[in-house]
């Protein structure tokens, strides 16, 4: 008969310190076998915990190195604690006393014990002591500027106090009485020649390349609205400069950083729907009804919107072998485009984008055993359904996010800077190149069509 008493506890354990270790030692003293659940970075962010410095892998290794810890698992979802207590036949669930009462519901599965924490030390305090504030400037008075400022307040160790825009009067109106933004610049070189360490760019698309290039060469980390570049080889040049300067260059494609989107990708990795044969995603918006300028709309549906479905298709199907476009044009630019790409094993990506046509903005990932449905607006992923031929086996995944989702992107950007990393696993340089390829191929094909037409007319 096995009389071993099993204890389980959970935590983030960011920047492992003496407070963590004393709490774990107290937990171990309650029994014989200690299981520690390290909270996954993506799950932490889904709960609004945005300021974790160390990666899940690094935190797991730190806990595994403690000789009084017998087993380490990763916590990935809300209901896992109850599931683990049944799975591991747990006798006691131990947790810090700052959670008193919060986990009483788990007494149904095991005994809950609240343990005293060590006074005067915490991960939050260590982060403030060990990581200086990242000073950030904004380039452009785009529609996301004010939302970006508001969302950044939820991410620690980042301070925004400068803004650049070439329109002096608009800049003056924006900064007047603005408590967050104290300094306005209508000269970009002067803006870069300040103490800021990073820049968020939200300007017209054709300005992105030169503004990014100047910022990187000035030694600044860059987060820029998509697409980063419209010209051939421009993105590769920017990534090369970022590598040389050892700076972060990241596309501000917030879908890539949402908790539910990343959980979706993890579910697909398990093979839950079998071999994936097709990904369909639609992104449309009637910008005229939102009072966007004609100049913005004239950039075309593909340039403005294709990055969103391209992200999903690339993340699921990988590198594409060929792309075909079926566009509709008005006034010389595309108001819609059906983009079909072929990938490894003959799988297909089907993206529909439009600025002059409205469609249901959902997405479907089709496999040989089932499919995943993401309801509109899929690019603001909160919920997805895993469905099978047998409806009783279907599952629903729900991961609400806070605010408008920008804070998760800002948290990823700042954590890369703090960790001394240049590449995000959620949106790597190769991901950005693959996404950018779609609009580049479309723009190049249009140039070829114009050249052919001119030759025929001559």
pLDDT digits (tens, 9 = 90+) for 92-120: 999 999 889 999 999 999 999 999 887 76
DSSP 329: E
pLDDT of 448 strictly over 70: no
CA dihedral for 40, 404, 318, 435, sign (positive or negative): negative
Report yes or no: 279 and 349 within 8 Å, Cβ to Cβ. yes
The domains of the chain are located at 6-125, 132-254, 259-400+428-451
- 337-362 average pLDDT score: 96
d(CA 287, CA 357): 10
pLDDT value at position 456? Answer: 46
Alpha carbon of 38 to those of 44, 81, 170, 391, 437: distances in Å? 10, 11, 48, 33, 38
pLDDT value at position 454? Answer: 41
CA dihedral for 164, 169, 172, 173, sign (positive or negative): negative
Strand partners, 363: 281, 374
Fold for domain 132-254? Rossmann fold (3.40.50)
CA angle 106–88–81, rounded 5-degree value: 35
pTM of the predicted structure, to 2 decimals: 0.82
- 396-402 average pLDDT score: 84
More confident residue, 418 or 317: 317
d(CA 65, CA 308): 41
- 416-430 average pLDDT score: 91
Say whether 259-400+428-451 and 132-254 share the same fold: no
pLDDT value at position 455? Answer: 45
CATH number for the domain running over 6-125 = 3.40.50.620
169-179 tens-digit pLDDT: 989 888 887 77
- 388-408 average pLDDT score: 89
Strand partners, 218: none
Report yes or no: 38 and 12 within 8 Å, Cβ to Cβ. yes
**Average pLDDT in the chain:** 90
pLDDT of 319 strictly over 90: yes
CA angle 3–8–9, rounded 5-degree value: 155
More confident residue, 142 or 423: 423
pLDDT value at position 1? Answer: 44
Q: What percent of the chain has pLDDT over 90?
A: 68
DSSP 223: E
More confident residue, 4 or 129: 4
pLDDT of 50 strictly over 80: no
- 21-41 average pLDDT score: 94
- The token duo for 80 is 């896992």
Fold for domain 259-400+428-451? Dihydrodipicolinate Reductase; domain 2 (3.30.360)
- 443-447 average pLDDT score: 83
Report yes or no: 388 and 395 within 8 Å, Cβ to Cβ. no
d(CA 392, CA 136): 50
pLDDT of 451 strictly over 50: no
pLDDT value at position 453? Answer: 43
pLDDT value at position 401? Answer: 81
């Amino acid at each position: 008969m096995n009389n071993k008493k099993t204890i389980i506890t959970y935590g983030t354990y960011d920047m492992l310190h003496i407070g963590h270790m004393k709490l774990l030692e107290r937990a171990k003293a309650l029994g014989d076998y200690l299981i520690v659940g390290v909270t996954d970075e993506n799950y932490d962010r889904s709960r609004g915990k945005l300021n974790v410095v160390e990666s899940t892998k690094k935190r797991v290794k730190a806990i595994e190195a403690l000789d009084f810890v017998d087993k380490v698992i990763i916590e990935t979802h809300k209901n896992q604690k109850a599931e683990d207590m049944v799975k591991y036949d747990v006798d006691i669930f131990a947790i810090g006393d700052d959670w008193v009462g919060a986990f009483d519901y788990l007494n149904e599965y095991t005994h809950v014990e609240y343990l005293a924490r060590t006074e005067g030390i915490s991960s939050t305090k260590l982060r403030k002591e060990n990581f200086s504030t990242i000073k950030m400037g904004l380039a452009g008075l785009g529609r996301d500027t004010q939302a970006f400022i508001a969302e950044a307040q939820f991410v620690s160790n980042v301070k925004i106090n400068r803004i650049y825009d070439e329109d002096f009067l608009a800049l003056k109106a924006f900064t007047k009485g603005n408590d967050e933004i104290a300094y306005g610049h209508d000269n970009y070189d002067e803006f870069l020649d300040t103490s800021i360490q990073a820049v968020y760019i939200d300007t017209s698309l054709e300005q992105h390349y030169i503004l990014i290039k100047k910022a990187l060469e000035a030694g600044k980390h860059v987060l820029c609205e998509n697409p980063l570049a419209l010209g051939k080889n421009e993105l590769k040049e920017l990534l090369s400069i970022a590598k040389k300067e050892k700076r972060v260059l990241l596309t501000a494609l917030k879908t890539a950083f949402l908790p539910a989107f990343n959980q979706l990708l993890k579910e697909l990795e398990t093979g839950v729907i079998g071999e994936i044969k097709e990904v369909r995603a639609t992104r449309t918006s009637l910008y005229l009804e939102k009072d966007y300028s004609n100049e913005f709309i004239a950039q075309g549906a593909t340039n403005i919107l294709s990055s969103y479905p391209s992200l999903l298709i690339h993340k699921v199907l990988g590198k594409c072998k060929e792309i075909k476009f079926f566009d509709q044009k008005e006034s010389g630019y595309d108001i819609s485009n059906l983009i079909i790409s072929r990938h490894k094993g003959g799988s297909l990506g089907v993206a529909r984008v439009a600025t002059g046509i409205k469609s249901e903005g959902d997405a479907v990932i089709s496999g040989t055993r089932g499919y995943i449905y993401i309801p509109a607006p899929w690019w603001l992923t909160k919920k997805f359904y895993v469905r099978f031929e047998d409806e009783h086996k279907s599952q629903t995944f729900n991961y609400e996010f806070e605010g408008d989702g920008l804070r998760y992107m800002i948290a990823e950007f700042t954590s890369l800077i703090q960790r001394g990393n240049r590449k995000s696993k959620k949106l790597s340089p190769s991901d950005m190149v693959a996404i950018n390829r779609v609009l580049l191929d479309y723009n190049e094909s249009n140039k070829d069509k114009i050249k052919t037409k001119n030759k025929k007319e001559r």
